[in-house]
Amino acid sequence: MINDGHFKKLLEHANFEEKLAAALPNNDFEKLNIDQTQRPLIYQRLPRQNLSLKPGFDHFETILSKALLKTVCSLYPYKFEKLKTKVCLFTYVMEGLGDLAIQKRLFHLFKKKFPNIELSLITLIRTKYHDYVRKLSPSHEIIFYENTPSPNLSQKALVLLEQATVICMVPTYFEPLDKEPYKNKLLGIGEYGFYHSKIFHPASPFTSFGVHFLELGLLLEKLPLFTHKDLLDFRDKTTLTYLLKTNSCFTEALELYQKDHNLYFAYLQSKKMHEIYLKLILNIEEESQKNIDLVTTDLSEFIQALQRLLDQKKLNSIQTIEIFFDGKRSRKKLRNSGKHLRLIHLGRLSEKDFLLFLSLSKEPIGIRGNLSLTDAIYLRKAFIYDCPLHCRSFLYSLIDFIELNPEISNTLLPYFHAFDPKAVENGSLEILKNAFKDPLFFMELQMLYDSLINTYDGRNNICNVVAHKIFSVTNNSFRSNEKALLNQFKNRKLTLEELIEQLKISAKNLQIF
């Protein structure tokens, strides 16, 4: 027998996003001249389990409120240049340097948008990354730690936290800040796709980066326009000498290099994606007469993948293989004719050098994590995405955007599904081979990138959320008045248009800036 209550619940959950879209009609946002990047466009699904919405995502008013966050924060007539207060940008770096790059980019964004704010920084980072972090300002406290789950804060860090009006914690959660005396002034912005994590969920006071309608958007950055000439500034001269096959006359060598070599850059993690990437670029270069240089931050998985291809006798177009690691070269000759394949180890790179090789690489670039994917989108480059488990929800939000947005071609879906960690290796490789042979694929990918940048540039949203937090902390009437208006909207006593107009009037009456 069908349980009527259970059936009703399933039906409500099945129509949840449709109901949400009806409450937040895009036409109303257009009439009110709300910028596209600040609208909650319902192109993504909410997480489900056995047809039901996951706990925490089934309360309509909570989801509605979180979906409106970036819109609400955009309504107040902020004059950022007049804002004078203290903000602390706090980053807890656990593994890799992506979080450090996020802190650096936010620092420069805030300095530009909030010229009169006293901006301090606290960076908790493992000792092994000592050479990759430098002070961005005199008020930058860097704390090195070993393998401890909760590093201790220095006395200077405690003073900076105490003095700050708002503490902006990005993108990793640091539990000691989520307690008194810091809790009320803490603004947490989590990693891409963290809207469904237990810390950054919709009912929490925090938010996150990402393209889901519950998130703030992409942390885009205007990246330098590198050319091959910029290779001459690469700080590792030993590797540069090997790459260009000279220790003098670098400029002339560079011209020859560009004629004879195709450069690929890969920053990958899993065994599966290393093998797929190597097979794919060999397939792409099959008809080319140029030599292949694969530069990477980690050689071991590529060497193993290469050995498997050698055992299977699948390197028919390669004459020699060279591996360059730690200033030393090893070489293996396979036959008397063909192209040369070089695997070149770069080690851990500075952000500048990482972006240099990302820019100069032929397509596809091999990437992992959130920020490198954002940079690939900004550079409009095709990529192979080695999706970590914690980034899976971000990937799924991108897939939903492609599938549910009528302006985006669904032919891109197999390409993005190929990066799902659950995808079968051989199936992914064949899908990617077919994509890179199709001229329409590149055109459709460029259209997707344009749409993502126009729809999800989150830089203004991030600054608006920070300014909004400052006023929430410093102005009780601001906070209570906004809450009352939002409650009226959620209880259907105000339309969306009325809510937005009332918030604008409220802002003027409260003399925000």
pLDDT of residue 364: 96
Instruction: Write down the residue that tokens 């489900």 correspond to.
Output: 48
pLDDT of residue 1: 45
Residue 124: Cβ within 10 Å count: 24
List CB contacts of 307: < 8 A, sequence separation 6 or more. Answer: none
Handedness of CA 231, 235, 237, 240 (dihedral sign): negative
Strand-pair partners of 87:
119, 166
pLDDT of residue 248: 67
Handedness of CA 180, 182, 187, 188 (dihedral sign): negative
pLDDT of residue 504: 83
Model confidence band, residue 149 (pLDDT cutoffs 50, 70, 90): confident
Rounded alpha-carbon distances, angstroms, from residue 494 to 32, 72, 503: 15, 15, 11
Distance CA(481)–CA(12), nearest Å, equals 31
Q: Is the pLDDT of residue 113 over 70?
A: yes
Mean pLDDT of 254-269: 91
pTM of the predicted structure, to 2 decimals: 0.91
Strand-pair partners of 118:
86
Question: Are 452 and 220 spatial neighbours (Cβ–Cβ below 8 Å)?
Answer: no
Strands 86-92 and 186-190: unpaired
pLDDT of residue 42: 92
**pLDDT tens-digit profile of 313-329?**
888 889 999 999 988 99
Start-end of H helices in 56-154? 60-67, 69-74, 98-113
**pLDDT tens-digit profile of 386-425?**
998 888 999 999 999 999 998 898 999 999 999 998 887 7
> Of the given ranges (30-39, 234-243, 373-382, 487-496), which has the lowest mean pLDDT?
234-243
Q: Could you tell me which residue, 120 or 246, shows the higher pLDDT?
A: 120
Rounded alpha-carbon distances, angstroms, from residue 398 to 101, 324, 352, 451: 22, 36, 27, 11
- Residue-by-residue DSSP string for 35-83: -GGGS----SPPPEETTEEPTTS--HHHHHHHHTHHHHHHSS---GGG-
Rounded alpha-carbon distances, angstroms, from residue 472 to 73, 89, 90, 232, 363: 11, 18, 19, 50, 46
**pLDDT tens-digit profile of 181-227?**
999 999 999 999 999 888 998 999 999 999 999 999 999 988 888 88
pLDDT > 70: what percent of the chain? Answer: 96
Preceding omega of 47 cis (within 30 degrees of 0)? no
E-only strand ranges, 157-256: 166-169, 186-190, 207-208
Instruction: Write down the residue that tokens 């990246």 correspond to.
Output: 223
List CB contacts of 86: < 8 A, sequence separation 6 or more. Answer: 117, 118, 119, 120, 163, 164, 165, 166
Instruction: Write down the residue that tokens 């996003």 correspond to.
Output: 17
Question: Are 278 and 305 spatial neighbours (Cβ–Cβ below 8 Å)?
Answer: yes
- CA-nearest of 69, 67, 88, 82 to 25 is 67
**What integer best gives the mean pLDDT of the chain?**
90
